[in-house]
Amino acid sequence: MRPEEAFCWPVTPAEALDLAAANVLADERLTSERVDLDGTPAWVMSGSHSGAAVHLRRIEDYLLVSSDGLMVALPRPGEMIVHPIGGLSVMRAIERLWLLAHREYRSRDDGLSPHVYWWKDGRLTRIQAELVEQDGLRRLVVAPPPEFARLLADLARGS
């Protein structure tokens, strides 16, 4: 459903979105495949072209998700790559997911997003990252939002 169509229904746009998501969740189950991203475990979750990302609403039906959430890349329709957060390895996961998302997004005409996101408590937050070159070396510079920065600090302290 397109946003402008939501007003044609006898419900609020938010209710229409919830109904559409419930229909997708009832109609399909994602397939999942564990993959290794250069030493970082992740899961490729695949489904319909238009509905795979909706399954983030029920990701706990597929994976054990800690209270810290998980990292998500959505490089193309019908697929998401996820990494449950389980310590400071999340920094390597962000790098690997970012590289994968950028490569996959750019290799297709229908790419969805080249970014990495943090999924926590039903909310998707973009993690700002940029590949920079300095002194002939390329590295990924991550500028996390404040709440995610606090999580990283807690993980570093071992709390």
What was the pLDDT predicted at 73?
95
Cα–Cα distances in angstroms (integers) from residue 104 to residues 16, 17, 56, 122, in the given order: 31, 28, 20, 25
* Amino acid identity at 117: Y
Entry pTM: 0.83
Length of the chain: 159
What was the pLDDT predicted at 92?
93
CA distance 33 to 36: 10
Residues facing residue 142 across a β-bridge: 129
What was the pLDDT predicted at 25?
63
What was the pLDDT predicted at 112?
87
* Mean pLDDT by groups of 10 residues along the chain of 159 residues: 66 73 71 91 84 76 87 90 91 94 89 92 92 89 94 88
- Dig out the tokens for 102 from the structure: 């950028």
- How far apart are the two ends of the chain, measured CA to CA in Å? 43
What was the pLDDT predicted at 5?
67
Cα–Cα distances in angstroms (integers) from residue 90 to residues 94, 103, 152, in the given order: 6, 20, 9
